[in-house]
Amino acid sequence: MIRKMDREVKAVSIQDEILEIVGKFGFWIMSKNNMQGCAGYVHTPNRKIYIEVLFPADYPKSPVILNMPRDVRQHPNLYELIPQIIQKTTDPRIHTAQVLELIKQKIIAMPAVEMKERLIDELDEELTLVKSIYNVKTVEGKKYHIRIFYQLESKLNFEVEINYKEYPRKPSIIFHQGLEKIIGHPQALKILQNWNNSNPPHIVQIVQEIEHKFTDAHKIEDVQKLITIKNLTLVNEQNQVLTQKLSLSVLRGDIIGVYTLNKEIPSAFFKAFLGETKRLEGEINIFGKAPSNDLRQKVKFIDFNIPEKTAQKLDELSIEDLLNKYAPDLQKKEIKKRINTLLSIIGLSNRRKMKMGELSEGERRRVLIASSVINLPSIIFLVEPEEGDLNATEKKRIWDTITGINDTYSSTVFVYSTSEEIKRVHNILVLSRNGHQLGFGTITQLIGELPLMKEVIVIQFNEPNPEHVEILGKLPGLTFIIEERAGEKYRLFTKIEPNKVIPLIFQRIGSNIYNISKESPGLIDFVPYKRVQKQ
């Protein structure tokens, strides 16, 4: 039942409505289609449901707009009911938060079996992702209760049991074979401590954190298993410093992301491994040896920059012909097997006879990666396509190709990228524009260094005003401000729950705000924070 409140039509404030919803449901403020609003997840015992609440300019004359998943809106129990409930928001005596609460209760009342069925695709996707990287068996035939086996070398291995049937809630984890004595209790994992049901990490990320803790605990010293860089300084032809005293160690078979906004750095860095530059100081050791002509046969640099004449010739070849062209001198049976494996990895097994000129740009690049690694190089250097060159789906398939090759052939892969997909690597090397090493570790480890409470507050003003920074700087719990656009857009780190800070911002400068939202922190936040620390 909705309780009517005593208030006049003219007293209705969209801003008050939004703040009430934010405070009650933990939503974040947003704007869409020139409307103010908020969005977030409504949690039920069986599901998290994303909902957007948008206020038309003439609200409450026109009702709020509620966007939610189609299967919820069209459910037989709600199909006719939801529009009727939304229409109640035109009554100035009824708060939109009350309407949202009523809809939540109706959603909770939906049959639990149906809700769980909606989660099957999500659960299966998590299982597929884990199986693509690790050796997995189900426990007692329960599909989403799995046991993972990992072997670092003949005498170093671990087993971990994960039950994620309640996903996106935090899974239960059991360590076997004395793993707890080596890396501590499962609940000590950072990924579990920072678990967010509204935006849960992948199950495979839990295993990756365990793997890296396990590896670090054994402190493997055998240089034959490592790539080591000590105090590496690189300069370009104009004697400008590109990297400054880089030092790190990489395990054989790791995928390393290289993140920097200086596009000149990756090429110089990669070429140093090929022994193609003498403009360096420091050491590079590849499995115990300095870069040499012999090692160059085991290193491959892929940047997709192909001369036009060469590209025209390749367009006339079929995918299979191209792979055969670059295949090593092996028995036909072995070559065929390797080509079949690569075609499976790049997802083009059924198009092997298709000519290169008939493929999409994303498909072409996947084939070029396959042709570059058919000789099974030990180390691969790859420059991710520029933003805009490929759409999100094609870019994801490029990354699927990279991880598939790494998983199948245990190649060590360095990928230069500035996209969100870089989170998929084992460790990320973060460099400033002038080549300072800002960090090296997993995305969880890097983000864990930021002084904030879970999320970043992103605030955008209607127009630039230099006084905004001064006002924001006096907010309680504020630890760091990033000025994304001078006087206009800022990213705020705070040690206080963002939902408690946002109302204070509205109180102090609400009339000048265009939009406020909360975002998960990323490298876009890590780089400026660490750069200031270095200073």
Per-residue pLDDT tens digits for 507-534 = 888 778 888 999 999 999 999 999 888 7
Q: Is the pTM of this model over 0.75?
A: no
User: CA-CA distances (angstroms) from residue 416 to 74, 258, 420?
Assistant: 44, 5, 12
Q: Over 90: is that where the pLDDT of 257 sits?
A: yes
Q: Over 90: is that where the pLDDT of 429 sits?
A: yes
When comparing pLDDT for 249 and 231, which is higher? 231
CATH for 114-215 is: 3.10.110.10
> What is the phi/psi pair of residue 308, to 5°?
-60, -40
- Report the alpha-carbon distance of residue 457 to residue 38 in Å, rounded: 14
When comparing pLDDT for 80 and 209, which is higher? 209
Cis peptide before 528 (omega within 30 of 0): no
Classify domain 9-110 at the CATH class level. alpha beta
Closest by CA position to 457, among listed 516, 514, 506: 516
Q: Over 50: is that where the pLDDT of 3 sits?
A: no
- Report the alpha-carbon distance of residue 264 to residue 270 in Å, rounded: 11
Mean of all residue pLDDT scores within the chain: 82
Enumerate the CATH 3.30.70.260 domain ranges in the chain, comma separated: 448-534
- Report the alpha-carbon distance of residue 518 to residue 498 in Å, rounded: 8
And the tokens for 505? 């911002």
Q: How many Å separate Cα 348 from the centre of its chain?
A: 25
When comparing pLDDT for 148 and 126, which is higher? 148
What percentage of the chain carries pLDDT values higher than 70? 89
Tens of pLDDT along 148-197?
887 765 456 778 999 988 887 889 999 886 788 778 888 889 889 888 87
Q: Give the DSSP H or E segment for 183.
A: helix 179-183
Closest by CA position to 188, among listed 211, 168, 208, 210: 210
Q: Over 60: is that where the pLDDT of 347 sits?
A: yes
Q: Over 70: is that where the pLDDT of 320 sits?
A: yes
Q: How many CA atoms lie within 13 A of 432 on its CB side?
A: 17
Tens of pLDDT along 378-426?
889 998 766 556 788 888 889 899 988 888 887 889 999 888 888 888 8
Q: Over 90: is that where the pLDDT of 84 sits?
A: no
- Report the alpha-carbon distance of residue 348 to residue 468 in Å, rounded: 53
Per-residue model confidence (pLDDT) at position 490: 92
Per-residue model confidence (pLDDT) at position 6: 40
Q: Give the DSSP H or E segment for 493.
A: strand 489-494
When comparing pLDDT for 306 and 155, which is higher? 306
And the tokens for 466? 């230099």
* Cβ–Cβ < 8 Å for 290, 284: yes
Q: Which span out of 23-32, 108-117, 146-155, 474-483 was modeled with the highest average pLDDT?
A: 474-483
Enumerate the CATH 3.40.50.300 domain ranges in the chain, comma separated: 223-440
- Report the alpha-carbon distance of residue 283 to residue 377 in Å, rounded: 21
* Cβ–Cβ < 8 Å for 411, 253: yes
Q: Over 80: is that where the pLDDT of 354 sits?
A: yes
And the tokens for 371? 């042709």
Q: How many Å separate Cα 517 from the centre of its chain?
A: 19
pLDDT band at 86 (very low <50, low <70, confident <90, very high): confident
The residue type of 72 is: V
Per-residue model confidence (pLDDT) at position 415: 92
Per-residue model confidence (pLDDT) at position 120: 58
Average pLDDT over residues 138-145: 85
Q: How many residues does the chain have?
A: 535
When comparing pLDDT for 198 and 493, which is higher? 493
Q: How many CA atoms lie within 13 A of 494 on its CB side?
A: 25
Q: Which span out of 5-9, 115-119, 158-162 was modeled with the highest average pLDDT?
A: 158-162
Q: Over 50: is that where the pLDDT of 256 sits?
A: yes
> What is the phi/psi pair of residue 463, to 5°?
-150, 155
3-state secondary structure at position 112? helix
3-state secondary structure at position 118? helix
Enumerate the CATH 3.10.110.10 domain ranges in the chain, comma separated: 114-215
Q: Which fold has domain 448-534?
A: Alpha-Beta Plaits (3.30.70)
Q: Quick one: CATH architecture of 223-440?
A: 3-Layer(aba) Sandwich (3.40)
Tens of pLDDT along 37-56?
888 877 776 666 778 899 98
Q: Is the dihedral of CA 115, 120, 126, 130 positive or negative?
A: positive
Per-residue model confidence (pLDDT) at position 117: 47
pLDDT band at 11 (very low <50, low <70, confident <90, very high): very low
Q: What is the residue whose two structure tokens read 């068996």?
A: 137
- Report the alpha-carbon distance of residue 247 to residue 277 in Å, rounded: 18
